[in-house]
Amino acid sequence: MSDDQTPTDSKLTRSKRRWAEEGKFLTGRISRPETERLPPGQHLVKNWPVLDLGQQPIISTDTWRLEVRGLVETPLDLTWMAFHALQQSTRVTDIHCVTTWSRYDNKWKGVSTRDLLDQATPKPEAHYVMLTSYDGYTTNMPLSDFAAEDAILATSWEGSPLTRDHGGPMRLVVPHLYFWKSAKWLRRIELLGGDAAGFWEKNGYHMYGDPWREQRYSGD
């Protein structure tokens, strides 16, 4: 899918817009990460459910690219080989999906977001990030969250290459936010001076998405 295309209006998209309008899954309870591992309203799963917007782009590593643009000193346009030439890291993190499932202790391998930012060098006025995927999906977050210590641009999960249905060949993982913020099939990272809404944020979801504060929807 070309960069100027937008995600389709799928059954899931319509359902999640309705959930946002109805405040579905909200418990009103706030837990603290230092005292509880499972955020409010979540339940544990052993599998890894697949959720997308009805499209799973086929991306060859021969043509794959990752761009880093916007308020950076050194814009990047990385091939698959150049991406793998960067320092490789591993992380073990939990996943918390806004649809109420959580999965503990996921082992990732890839490039830490901090190591990628070291290559691009954010300008002082950069405070936010807009992420764009190969299927046209977008999502936003503060630069400080993108650069979290455990955030990673993952190419491997549990010792195997990341599969297409889970965002392969590469996806973002930002464990401390709801998982819709961890964009699959990542294509472009743009550093911005101000915040801007992505796809779900324009469709009733919270601009930040903290699971422990139950920030599922706008207005929460």
pLDDT for the residue 4: 45
Could you tell me what percent of the chain has a pLDDT over 70? Answer: 82
Does the pLDDT of residue 10 top 80, yes or no?
no
Determine the straight-line distance between the first and last CA of the chain, rounded to whole angstroms. Answer: 33
> Region 140-163: what's the mean pLDDT?
98
For 64-89+109-213, give the CATH class. alpha beta
> Region 110-121: what's the mean pLDDT?
98
- Buried/exposed code over 178-197 (b: 16+ C-beta within 10 A; e: otherwise): bbbbbbbbbbbbbbbeeeee
Q: pTM value?
A: 0.85
pLDDT for the residue 55: 78
In this predicted structure, which of 50-54, 55-59, 206-210 has the lowest mean pLDDT?
50-54
pLDDT for the residue 2: 39
Handedness of CA 19, 218, 181, 1 (dihedral sign): positive
Q: Which residues contact 92 (CB under 8 A, 6 or more apart)?
A: 105, 106, 107, 108
Q: How many CB atoms lie within 10 A of CB 99?
A: 17
> Region 41-56: what's the mean pLDDT?
85
pLDDT for the residue 7: 61
More confident residue, 180 or 8: 180
pLDDT for the residue 50: 83
Indicate the average pLDDT of the chain.
Answer: 89
> Region 56-81: what's the mean pLDDT?
97
In this predicted structure, which of 25-29, 180-184, 204-208 has the lowest mean pLDDT?
25-29
pLDDT for the residue 36: 83
> Region 110-119: what's the mean pLDDT?
98
Does the pLDDT of residue 8 top 90, yes or no?
no
Show me where the domains of the chain are located.
64-89+109-213
